[in-house]
Each structure stands twice: as C-alpha cells, then as structure tokens.
C-alpha cells in the first residue's frame, strides 16, 4: 500500500479483513482539501482490489472533528473553474465510498459538518461519539450539499425531518441522530473505535461474496419498485447459492468448525 499525505491506513490485528482508513488533518479538524480527495481516491482504488479486505472503517484523527467539510481556506479566492475541478475530485472520492464493494462503517469522532456529514452518510453504517454533532450548513453560506446530502439524508430519516434539517442548516446531536435511526450506535469517545471495530470484526467473519451481494441487493433494490427489487435480490442470491463459499458454509456447519471463505 502507498503512503499518503492526508490519510492513514491500518489493518486490524484481530481480524485481517478489517481495515481502518483515518482522515489525518487534525489541525484543520480534518477539513477536506484537494489533496485529501486525491489521497482518498488512490487509497480506495487500491483497497477495492485487496483480496484480504472484508470491512472498511472510516474515521478521523483527534477528538474534535471527524470532518468539517471542504477546506474553505483553500477555497477562498478560487475561480469557478478551479472550484469545479476540485469538486470533481470530491465527487469521485465520495462515489468510491458509496459504491465500495464491501461494508463501510463510519466512526464519527467529532463534528461532521457539510461534506463531513455527507462522508458519514456515504457509509453503510455509522457509530458516533456522544459529544459529536452532525450538520449540513451549506444553505447558510449560499450553496447546497453537493456530494449526496440532499439525496442520502432523506433516504435515511423521514423526509420532512430531513428537509427541515437541510433548510435550517443547523446541527444534530448524537442522541437525536440515534433517535432518528441515522446512526447505529453512540459511544463515548474513548470507546468509539473499539465499539466500531467490534461491529466490523463481527461482519468480517462472514462470507465475502454474501457481504457484497447484500450490499448490492439493498442499495440497488431501494432505488426501484418492489418486483424489480426482488429480482435484484434473486440474482444476487443465486450468485451466492452457486458459489464455492456456499458449499464451504454447509460443510463447515456440519463439521462444526469455522468456515474458510474463498470469496468465490
């Protein structure tokens, strides 16, 4: 794996299929600049091809900010063309997260604002620190979310609640996010990564082909009618049913041992 300027990547010692990607600009509250977007694209492109990976945890350094969105200091004075070029990098990075083949879990360790909240929304699951807050304040500076906020949020919580949140541009507490089902769990900052890794390790024990098929079935099925969605599920079901891993799953169950997955 490469070394990057603005992010780090670690492989879990307990479950080798779990990797943790950490945003690493703590002095800027992990604000997203052009270099971070480029680093994310390079890292995620490499991880997609990693044969060991089963679950990706996305978190950030420090205890204050998960990501406070785009680096407005870098954007100050940008021309429209420069802004567009930068945003193209942002779009590519976020698309890679949304379409990552395996589950992605956000461990939100602090403020997740603007693009930072959209980063968390792009993940499959979210665990948030009890002191953290989330927000999409773009409307207060004359724009709207541009990497998924207006689409992902109302797919995660009631539409009316999402619209109010977007219109007002205010912050949401960790407890409120849990009440709405926007996050899967809340943890104290000292326990956040351990709790997230527990979930990741539990997921990472399961058949890799099945994990990919579940993600495809849910994500693609939600965008269509129920009959089409059921056909999408059935296609993915038979990919798993006709796989070597399905045979191994049955065999290991009957032999009372842990399965050895091949991912095929």
- Report the catalytic residues: 118, 138
- Rounded CA separation 147/41 (Å): 14
Which residues does 7 contact at the CB level (< 8 Å), separation at least 6? 21, 22, 23, 24, 36, 39, 40, 43
Yes or no: say if 29 and 67 are a contact pair by the CB < 8 Å rule: yes
Which residues does 110 contact at the CB level (< 8 Å), separation at least 6? 29, 60, 62, 63, 64, 65, 66, 129, 131, 132
What angle, rounded to 10 degrees, do the helices at 208-221 and 244-254 form? 120
Residues in the chain: 264
Yes or no: say if 111 and 133 are a contact pair by the CB < 8 Å rule: yes
Yes or no: say if 56 and 102 are a contact pair by the CB < 8 Å rule: yes
DSSP letter for 129, please: E
Q: Within a 10 A sphere around the Cβ of 199, how many other Cβ atoms?
A: 19
Yes or no: say if 97 and 123 are a contact pair by the CB < 8 Å rule: yes
């Amino acid at each position: 794996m490469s070394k990057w300027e603005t992010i780090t990547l670690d492989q879990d010692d307990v479950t080798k299929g779990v990797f943790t990607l950490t945003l690493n600009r703590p002095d800027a509250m992990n604000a997203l600049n052009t270099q971070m977007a480029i680093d994310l694209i390079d890292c995620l492109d490499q991880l997609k091809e990693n044969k060991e990976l089963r679950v990706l945890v996305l978190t950030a350094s420090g205890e204050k900010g998960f990501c406070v969105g785009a680096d407005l200091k870098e954007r100050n004075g940008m021309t429209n063309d420069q802004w567009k070029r930068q945003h193209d990098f942002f779009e590519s990075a976020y698309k890679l997260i949304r379409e990552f083949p395996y589950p992605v879990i956000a461990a939100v360790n602090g403020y997740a604002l603007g693009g930072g909240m959209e980063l968390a929304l792009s993940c499959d699951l979210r665990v948030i620190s009890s002191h953290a807050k989330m927000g999409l304040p773009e409307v207060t500076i004359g724009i709207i979310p541009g990497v998924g906020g207006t689409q992902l949020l109302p797919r995660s919580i009631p539409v009316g609640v999402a619209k109010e949140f977007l219109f007002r541009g205010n912050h949401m507490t960790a407890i409120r996010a849990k009440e709405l089902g926007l996050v899967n769990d809340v943890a104290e900052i000292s326990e956040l990564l351990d709790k997230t890794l527990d979930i990741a390790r539990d997921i990472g024990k399961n058949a890799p082909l099945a994990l990919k098929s579940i993600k495809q079935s849910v994500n693609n099925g939600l965008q269509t009618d129920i009959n089409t969605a059921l056909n999408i599920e059935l296609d993915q079901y038979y990919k798993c049913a006709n796989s070597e891993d399905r045979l191994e799953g049955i065999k290991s169950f009957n032999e009372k041992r842990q399965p050895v997955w091949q991912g095929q």
